[in-house]
Amino acid sequence: MKQMFTPKLFTLMKNYSKGQFLQDMTAGIIVAIVALPLSIALALASGVRPEQGIYTAIIAGFIVSFLGGSRVQIAGPTAAFAVIVGNIVATEGMDGLIVATIMAGIILVIMGVCKLGGLIKYIPYTITAGFTAGIAITIAIGELKDFFGLTVHGTQIETGDKINALIQNIHSVNEEAVMVGVFSLLILIFWPKINEKIPGSFVAVLVGVLLVKGLRLDVNTIGSLYELSNELPVPSVPHVNYAMIRTLLPHAFTIAVLAAIESLLSCVVADGMCGGNHRSNMELIAQGVANVATGIFGGIPATGAIARTAANVKNGGKTPVAGMVHAIVLAITLVLFMPYAALIPMPTIAAILLMVAYNMSGWREFVHVLKSSPKSDILILITTFFLTVVFDLVIAIEVGMVLAAVLFMKRMAEVTSLSGWKYIEQEEEEGEDAESIQLREVPKDTLVYEINGPMFFGAADKFMEIVTHSMHASKKKNVRKIILRMRSVPSMDTTALRSLQRVYTVCRKKGIILIFSHVQPQPCSVMKKAGFIDQIGCDKFCPNIDAALKKATEL
């Protein structure tokens, strides 16, 4: 219990060595080189200033490494947040983003304290695959403007508006921007095959700057569109009111769920790479604290970044010290070299984000699900994907979860069944399980029904079938007792219990006695709390079918 809420750093530092520090420091520096252009690019994709992406990588990167439950997790801004952050900034402004980020952090801390780290696995893969692919498409569409150097006036929030703006301004294509963008994209594709140590995004940035400056190309750069600052962030909390909290709460929940999913998924990937074992609840608490801090210091939402975490492991990072070194190196870079970021061409930034979108789209898995999954899963996947692209991520996740829950309940209701026994006289062979399905001698005035599967509101009507069957059987013989065999009913909810109570009411009016066989603990607890067992009589609840048949004979 104590270890569950102990940061991984505190455990690993007991046996830390100088040699491991050198490895962590090397890995941290390399990861910082990877994170620098990505942090700037993701900030721009989110509609905020370039340095805010670096603020996020510094603050979240350090806090998550210091407090987190993974030995190698690298946190910072990720593409998953770009769309929702852009929408919040466009509609609610920076104050709205800060409040939403802080609220999301608080939600994450509560999730961790309440030990909800394991609940993330209950979000269906079809939903995560759908909105991830949808985010990738949305990011790609948003970057085509800068990739082609189009002149587009105004700010477009919806994907449809962005596509319309691209079509209307296609005549303003800048051939020089396209050249820089294509050249950068080719570097990003082929450089990893040449050298895996030096990040392709860093090489693309250097080559892009040299092309634009050396050839004096007429291409937009970060400096021509944004005013950069190399100052370290300072804390600032905006004025908050109830109306703002109510408006931003759905966005905060979406950010928290995304941060939880992506950070824990990154932890799982990292565990597979380094043989570790992460502490999911401590990781959620660290992610929550990090998001509260980034919000206060003017950053954007953060979570575990799978690509940067993988780069950390591949370059020798073994403990959270590597992530802390990465944050410190980024802070030094911000202060000393941020003015040079003004030289980075926008088509290069667009190329980096197009590559990020391609990598996160998971199109192969998307196609595989379409080809091999049941129609219900395909429906969830397509619906979530479509709503993410056409509307927004909040609606997509809400509708996707509701749809998945409804379809799951439908499946569970379909597997829950009620069957009546057919009997002949047969002695049970010696040594056989008393609860095995054997044909037994049953009193002539008794019916036995066996229920299989969970009894919840979606399947509660199965109980009422008992009444229908019993009334039909009563026409042939005088039914005075009904045995309900419930050994295969693992759970029951209030709706199913009310349905069962209605069965009892009808049976009592007809003079029929209900006897229960092998009621499982959870249904038994529900019945006991509702007073149903006392109403029926404790003697009517038998441990197995043989005892129930004996009780029916005695009665």
How far separated are the first and last CA of the chain, in Å rounded?
A: 52
Cα→Cα distances 81→92, 96, 217, 257, 532, Å = 16, 15, 32, 11, 50
Tell me what pLDDT residue 1 has.
54
Report d(CA 224, CA 220) in Å as an integer. Answer: 6
Residue 423 banded pLDDT, cuts 50, 70, 90 = very low
| Mean predicted lDDT score pLDDT of the chain | 88
Mean pLDDT value across residues 379-407:
89
Cα separation, 79 vs 507, whole angstroms: 61
Q: Which of 3.40.630.30, 3.30.750.24, 3.40.50.800, 3.30.300.10 would CATH assign to domain 418-426+440-554? A: 3.30.750.24
Beta bridge partners of 420: 449
Per-residue confidence (pLDDT) for residue 282, from 0 to 100: 95
Place of tokens 């303003």: 172
Torsion of CA 451, 452, 455, 461, to 10 degrees: -60
Using CA atoms, how far residue 206 sits from 38, 40, 178, 198, 345, in Å, is 14, 14, 17, 12, 10
Closest C-alpha to 87, from 296, 231, 321, 250:
250
User: How large is the average pLDDT for residues 338-344?
Assistant: 92
Tokens (6 digits) for 450: 């066996």
CA distance 30 to 47: 27
User: Which carries the bigger pLDDT value, residue 153 or residue 245?
Assistant: 245
Q: Which of 359, 378, 347, 467 is nearest to 79 (CA)?
A: 359
Fill in the amino acid letter for 100: A
Buried b (16+ CB within 10 A) or exposed e, 300-310: bbbbbbbbbbb
**Nearest one of 334, 261, 279 to 43, comparing CA atoms:** 334
Residue 477, pLDDT score: 65
Q: For position 50, what pLDDT does the model report?
A: 94
User: Per-residue pLDDT for 41 more than 90?
Assistant: yes
| Of the listed ranges 98-107, 218-227, 396-405, the one predicted with least confidence | 396-405
Mean pLDDT, residues 397-421: 80
Residue the block writes with tokens 């056989």: 432
Confidence of residue 462 (pLDDT cuts 50, 70, 90): confident
Q: Is the dihedral of CA 474, 479, 485, 490 positive or negative?
A: positive
Tell me the HSE value of 261 on the side-chain side, using a 13 A CA sphere. 20
Quick: pLDDT tens for 487-544: 889 988 888 888 888 888 888 888 889 999 999 999 999 999 989 999 999 999 999 8
Handedness of CA 6, 10, 15, 21 (dihedral sign): positive
Residue range 420-448: mean pLDDT, rounded: 57
Place of tokens 């999954």: 373
Residue 426's pLDDT is 39
Percent of the chain with pLDDT over 70: 94
**Three-state DSSP state, 482:** strand
The whole-number pLDDT of residue 269 equals 83
Domain boundaries, the chain: 18-149+163-373, 418-426+440-554
Residue 476 is predicted with a pLDDT of 60
Q: Mean per-residue pLDDT for 181-209?
A: 92
Q: Is the dihedral of CA 152, 153, 157, 163 positive or negative?
A: negative
Residue 422 has pLDDT above 60, yes or no: no
Q: What is the pLDDT of residue 254?
A: 92
Check pLDDT > 70 for residue 425: no
Q: Is the pLDDT of residue 436 over 50?
A: no
Answer for the pair 470, 484: CB distance below 8 angstroms, yes or no: no
Q: At 517, which helix (H) or strand (E)?
A: strand 513-517
Q: Is the dihedral of CA 42, 46, 48, 54 positive or negative?
A: negative
pLDDT value, residue 167: 92
pLDDT value of residue 196: 80
CA nearest neighbour of 483 among 415, 546, 414: 546
pTM of the full structure: 0.79
Task: Average the pLDDT over each of 39-43, 64-68, 261-265 and give the range with the smallest value.
Answer: 261-265
pLDDT at position 120 over 80? no
Q: What is the pLDDT of residue 411?
A: 77
Cβ-contact 117, 261 below 8 angstroms: no
Share of the chain above pLDDT 90, in %: 54
Residue 427's pLDDT band (cuts 50, 70, 90): very low
Looking at the DSSP bridge assignments, the partners of residue 75 are 304
Question: Is residue 299 scored above 50 in pLDDT?
Answer: yes
Specify the pLDDT at position 421: 60
Per-residue confidence band for 430, with pLDDT thresholds at 50, 70 and 90: very low
Tell me the pLDDT tens digit for each residue of 236-293.
888 889 999 999 999 999 999 999 999 988 898 888 888 778 899 999 999 999 999 9
- Go through 267-296 and write b for each residue having 16 or more CB atoms within 10 A of its CB, e for each that does not: bebbeeebebebbbbbbbbbbbbbbbbbbb
Which is higher by pLDDT, 256 or 476? 256
